[in-house]
Amino acid sequence: MNALAAEGEVVYEATTNGLWFVEHAWVVVVLPLISAALILFFGRRTPGKGAVYGIVAVGAAFLFSLGVLWHFVEGGGPFEGSIDWFTIGPLHLELGILVDGLTGIMLVVVTSISLCVHVYSLGYMHGDERFTWFYVVLSLFTAAMLTVVVSNNVIQLLVGWEIMGVCSYLLIGHWWEVKENSNAAIKAFITTRVGDIPFMFGIIMLIALTGFTSTNIGEISHELGLGEVSPLFISMAAILLFGGTVGKSAQFPLHVWLPDAMAGPTPVSALIHAATMVAAGVYLIGRLFEIFLEAEQWVLTTVSIVAAITALGAALLAIVQDDIKRVLAYSTLSQLAYMVAGLSLGELGLTAGFFHLFTHAFFKALLFLGAGSVIHAVHSNNMSDMGGLRKSMPVTFWTMLIGSLALAGIFPLAGFWSKDELLVVAEEEHVYWLFVVFLITAVITAFYTMRMVLLTFFGEYKGHAHPHESPATMTGPLVALAAATIGVGLLGSPQLGAVFGQWVFYEEVHEAVFVPWIALLSTAGALLGLFAGYALYKERKAQDPLQAPMGPLWNVFQNRYYIDAFYMRAIVLPVRDTWSSSVNWFNQVVLDGIVNGAATVTRAFAQVIAWFDRTVIDGIVNGAGEGAGKTGNVLKHLQTGNVQWYAVALFVGVIALAVVFIELV
């Protein structure tokens, strides 16, 4: 792998203290991969069942990522390095790293949250029967996500992307003994697969753009920039790639898997289904942004519409959930849609969208880990079994309060800055309908956040377990993430120079602007949502106060707009009951018939060949052997053992030769 650094080239001339880290960024990917292997092979024999490998490796990767980010803090430029992988005809594949500001940020996000989750799981998964396996998959997932983040070509990206999918499947179904969990895992896997198929075709189209010579993202973008490719072709590729985002980042209409994925252990929900994997879809758009910008306008419009539907629709569903993890899951859907919508706004939106991804990763991981801490204490996911926990779980309460306020977008926490930035960009790009959607979603977000906090931590305890504060391995990551939630927002604050925009940008740095009326409007919206939530949920009632006024709409919301039921009836059941039996018949009768027929013909033919082999070929071979033996039997009598006869033959020979020579000469 050292060749990687040797062959690398610095795209822009720069010498910074972080340059060495950037040139060796592949180490960040390899560390968790090694730890996954170590845990798998030695985990059970190691004290602590192997978690220590994962924590040390991811911790080291986190420090290394900070080194990488430092390069960009100092104003360094992007770096690309690669080694040859293999070549198929003209198509040249490489293993490589492409490190720019976006990569630096993503590396820090993934490794820091992965580290928190690794530590947190020590407490949360304590005593689990598949504890070691859990850590194997956790480390493998981290490596896969980092592969996606650093990869400089679409094939490597696809490989990391699919490994993430497998890890997600394994972790959702971690407690597979319960049928619902394994169903959720299958649902997640198959639903994302529906998006991955167009994604794969999109990738093939991108490779086709280069005349099947390269998979490098930079070269593909360069090819696009030449302007020789028809816009329709680019648009098709872009919309197919967006399919991958829709699946992985759980956008409408493939959002159905994410709420069910909450069946997995809560640390997994925090890492994979809130902070990192689901953000990979957003990252994908950012990484291949050139393609989306070169495509026709309808592509980005489609992206906006899908994101807007998801943002609003998911936020509304979060209001009526009783399961605290599902509230957060719908919230995640809605916030991911914020990011996607942000990216659809163009170059300015890229910075804003990724800033939201950055801040959201921290506060949503914090909320999930906090929820996990609560669930750990009360042994139930349902908020109807909680209440009044602020006294028994003070650390969890305060950290979750910080996360909740950040989610609601209250100054000066992380969510305020990033949501504000998105609103500003929507206003600047004159996409007012999206501005309105953002604002309404923000109000609803504040509302359901307040509801969640009140139902969980205030009022009277309704459950039957005896809640207690979680161990330090769980509260430690909560405190660390809470500190991050307070801090990271300031990186994008226009008053403090908005340094985030100098790291993550498209083509050129844009000055972040602070628009006072938008900030006031969003704060007012958030406060409106919070107060509405407080007014409705300050007193706990047996029935949800929204149920009566919403009437039949309540049932629609409870059944998730009947989308899941529709998929079940229209796709899953017909496929399972009707199509599968006909496909089975086709397989049993037609395909097996062809296969068996081919086998029968081959057998008959083989028997002919066998006869030919036994009779003709063997006959020739044996005949040659026997012939040689018989000839030898006859000729051997020439060797009498009598030396004088030999001498006679010798002299006769000499005379004969002499006669021949004399006659010839």
> At closest approach, how far in Å is the CB of 632 from another protein?
9
> At closest approach, how far in Å is the CB of 598 from another protein?
57
Nearer to another protein, 230 or 633 (CB): 633
List the interface residues with another protein, window 264-283 (CB under 8 A): none
Rounded Cα distance between 417 and 493, Å, is: 6
- Taking alpha carbons only, the member of 283, 304, 269, 112 closest to residue 184 is 269
CB neighbours (10 Å) of residue 43? 24
SS (H, E, C) 165-210: HHHHHHHHCCCCCCHHHHHHHHHHHHHHHHHHHHHHHHHHHHHHHC
Nearer to another protein, 179 or 636 (CB): 636
Query: Contacts with another protein: how many residues (CB under 8 A)?
Result: 11
> At closest approach, how far in Å is the CB of 653 from another protein?
13
Choose, by CB under 8 A, the member of 472, 575, 591, 648 that binds another protein: 648
> At closest approach, how far in Å is the CB of 626 from another protein?
19
User: In this structure, what token pair is assigned to residue 227?
Assistant: 């302007």
- In angstroms and rounded to an integer, the radius of gyration of the C-alpha atoms of the chain is 34
Rounded Cα distance between 404 and 107, Å, is: 25
Cβ atoms of 7 and 89 closer than 8 Å: no
Query: What amino acid occupies position 332?
Result: T
> At closest approach, how far in Å is the CB of 662 from another protein?
15
Residue in the block written with tokens 């939106």: 349
73 beta partners: none
- Taking alpha carbons only, the member of 194, 445, 239 closest to residue 337 is 445
**Backbone dihedral angles phi then psi of residue 480, each to the nearest 5 degrees:** -60, -45
> At closest approach, how far in Å is the CB of 664 from another protein?
22
Binding track over 484-523 against another protein, x by CB under 8 A: ----------------------------------------
Q: Is the peptide bond preceding residue 412 cis, with omega within 30 degrees of 0?
A: yes
Nearer to another protein, 585 or 646 (CB): 646
> How many residues make up the chain in this entry?
665
CA separation, residue 643 to residues 130, 646, 650 (Å): 89, 5, 10
> At closest approach, how far in Å is the CB of 660 from another protein?
20
Nearer to another protein, 610 or 655 (CB): 655
**Backbone dihedral angles phi then psi of residue 512, each to the nearest 5 degrees:** -75, 135
> At closest approach, how far in Å is the CB of 651 from another protein?
6
Nearer to another protein, 590 or 650 (CB): 650
Q: Is the peptide bond preceding residue 253 cis, with omega within 30 degrees of 0?
A: yes
> At closest approach, how far in Å is the CB of 610 from another protein?
40
Binding track over 378-397 against another protein, x by CB under 8 A: --------------------
> At closest approach, how far in Å is the CB of 619 from another protein?
29
Nearer to another protein, 222 or 630 (CB): 630
Nearer to another protein, 15 or 644 (CB): 644
> At closest approach, how far in Å is the CB of 637 from another protein?
6
Nearer to another protein, 41 or 645 (CB): 645
Nearer to another protein, 516 or 641 (CB): 641
Rounded Cα distance between 563 and 111, Å, is: 35
SS (H, E, C) 113-129: HHHHHHHHHHHHCCCCC
- Taking alpha carbons only, the member of 136, 126, 120 closest to residue 171 is 136
- Taking alpha carbons only, the member of 491, 477, 352 closest to residue 424 is 352
| Using rule CB under 8 A, residue 656 touches another protein | no
Cβ atoms of 306 and 251 closer than 8 Å: yes
List the interface residues with another protein, window 618-647 (CB under 8 A): 636-637, 639-644, 647
Nearer to another protein, 2 or 633 (CB): 633
Name the H helices within 210-251. 217-225, 231-248
Nearer to another protein, 34 or 654 (CB): 654
Cβ atoms of 56 and 122 closer than 8 Å: no
CB neighbours (10 Å) of residue 634? 8
Interface residues with another protein (CB under 8 A) are 636-637, 639-644, 647-648, 651
